Structure 1
Amino acid sequence: MLVERIMTSPVETLHVNDTIHEAMNMMSRLSIRHIPIVDDENNLAGIISDKDVNLALPSIANGDTDLSLDLELGKIMRQQVTTCHPLDFVEEIAKDFYHFAIGAIPVMRGKKIVGIVTQKDMLNTFLELTGIKEPGSIIEIDIKDRMGVIYDIGKVFKNLNIKIVSISIYPNAVKKDHKIIVLRIDAMNPLIAIEKLKESGFNVLDPSEMS
């Protein structure tokens, strides 16, 4: 899946000379937590989050609220910004979210901001890819990693006239050279499919045996 499919575009930005007060108002008005910051040429200069704003306001406790709220964003923004391109794959930028523990990634074409992807966008994408948003049932199968196994599983469901909504594949942490295939199928009762899979020689996992 491409980034351009899940990004928010156009994206709201603020200027380096705008203030914390303006950032707080924008975050509250739009219910957002991250704002890209641009320079005079409208190029990306940095990014701020609600955490950055909170860390910049320790003087509120001392009564210096006005001074803190008038602080320019250029003085508190993070200048080292992880970015991506609209044609990057979502699966690739997921690694950036994980490794760098960041909450948002601006999407760039050259020096111009064309969108933004947040952790919430990534979670919604995960739910979409796994088919969780659709009604159905989940079946887990332990298989020895080999060519053609997905085709063989697909034939079982084709013969049953049951649609596979999504397929996820994970390494089996217990068995070497084995994978766990997680199927979400368009059927509220998976028992018939489970029996047919077992008859075809597949090791269908019982959730009670997964601990």
Structure 2
Amino acid sequence: MLVEEMMQSEVVTLSPTAAIADGLKLRHINHIKHIPIVDETNQIIGIVSDRDLRIAAPSIFNESQEQHVLSHEIQSIMSHPVVTVHPLDLSEEVAHIFYDKDISCLPVVSDNKLIGMITASDMLYTLIQLTGTNVQSSQIEIKVPHKPGVLPEAAAVFGKRQTNITSVLLYPYNDDPNYKILVFRIQTINPLPVIQDLRKAGYTLMWPNNIAGPKQ
């Protein structure tokens, strides 16, 4: 999935000379946690988080603290330079950036212009879609040899039952490079017939592994 399919295209921004008070008001009205700071050509020059605003705002428990801090320009508390992504970047690449940079928001930039935003929550929702957990389904995990052609061979077992596969994932089996785990999500609430077929075909069931079937 591409970034342009996941991003929020309607983005609320501020200019660098806007007051911190404007940022607080914008956060409250729009219920957002990140405000991109852009120049007059809509190029992103910084970003202000909910945490930045909370730190900058005067404490309600300290009446002597000067309130004029709210009139300071918001560029005084923004973070820069800003890590950005392109609308044609892949979701897997974006997930790596979120993890490696330990951030929760990424502006989307094309031709040096801000065109959208993607958050960690957007990324999580995309993962839910990619894994098929957003639809009623059953999960089956099988251990398979790490060799060419194993995926269509296993998928053929589901095809014989005319079972619809909503998603397929592949991940390593412990530290053994000779095997992988195939994870199928299928659109049925009764996976028992397919599980029995997989066992008869010689596959080792990793999940569910508590359903009786022929010995392997």
TM over 0.5: yes
CA contact (8 A) 1:59 1:68 kept: no
Secondary structure of 1:41's aligned partner: coil
Question: How far apart are 1:58 and its partner, in Å?
Answer: 5.5
3-state secondary structure, aligned to 2:155: helix
Q: Name the counterpart of 2:140.
A: 139
Compared CA separation, residues 113 and 93, structure 1 to 2 (3 A): same
Match of 1:69 in 2: 70
User: For the Cα contact (< 8 Å) 1:60–1:68, is it kept in 2?
Assistant: no
After superposition, where does 1:18-37 map in structure 2 within 5 Å? 18-37=18-37
What secondary structure, in the 3-state scheme, does the structure 1 residue paired with 2:52 have? helix
1:105 paired with 2:81, answer no
* Deviation by residue 1:91-118 (Cα, 9 ceiling, x = unmatched): 1011010011101000001221000000
| CA distance in structure 2 between the partners assigned to 1:75 and 1:116 by the alignment | 22
The aligned amino acid for 1:118 is T
Counterpart residue number, 2:156: 155
1:24 & 1:66 partners in 2: Cα distance? 13
The whole-number CA distance in structure 2 between the counterparts of 1:51 and 1:203 is: 49
Paired AA for residue 202 in structure 1: Y
Once the two structures are superposed, the pairs formed by residues 118-129 of structure 1 within 5 Å of their partners are 118-129=119-130
Deviation at 1:154, TM superposition (A): 1.3
Please say if residues 9 and 116 of structure 2, whose CA atoms lie closer than 8 Å, have aligned partners that are also in contact: yes
The Cα offsets for residues 24-68 of structure 1, whole Å up to 9 and x where unpaired, read as 221222221111101233211100110111222355543336223
Indicate whether 1:4 and 2:4 are aligned: yes
- Quote the Cα distance in structure 2 between the aligned partners of 1:65 and 1:174: 59
Letter of the 1:115 partner, please give it. Answer: G
Which range moved further: 189-198 or 54-63?
54-63
Report % sequence identity. Answer: 38
**After superposition, what is the alpha-carbon deviation per residue over 1:66-101, rounded to whole angstroms, capped at 9, x for unaligned?**
223222110000012110111111110110100111
In structure 1, the gaps of 5 or more residues are none
What secondary structure is seen at the aligned counterpart in 2 of 1:15? coil
Choose 123-132 or 9-18, whichever is displaced more: 9-18
The TM-score, its normalising length taken from structure 2, stands at 0.91
Q: Which runs of 5+ in 2 are unaligned?
A: 211-216
Answering whether residue 199 of structure 2 is matched by residue 198 of structure 1, we say: yes
> 3-state DSSP class of the match of 2:68?
helix
Aligned counterparts of 1:71 and 1:113: Cα–Cα separation in 2:
24
1:55-66 correspondence runs (5 A): 55-57=55-57, 61-63=61-63, 64=65, 66=67
The alignment partner of 1:14 has SS state of coil
The whole-number CA distance in structure 1 between the counterparts of 2:117 and 2:52 is 18
Task: Report the Cα distance in structure 1 between the residues aligned to 2:141 and 2:103, rounded to whole angstroms.
Answer: 32
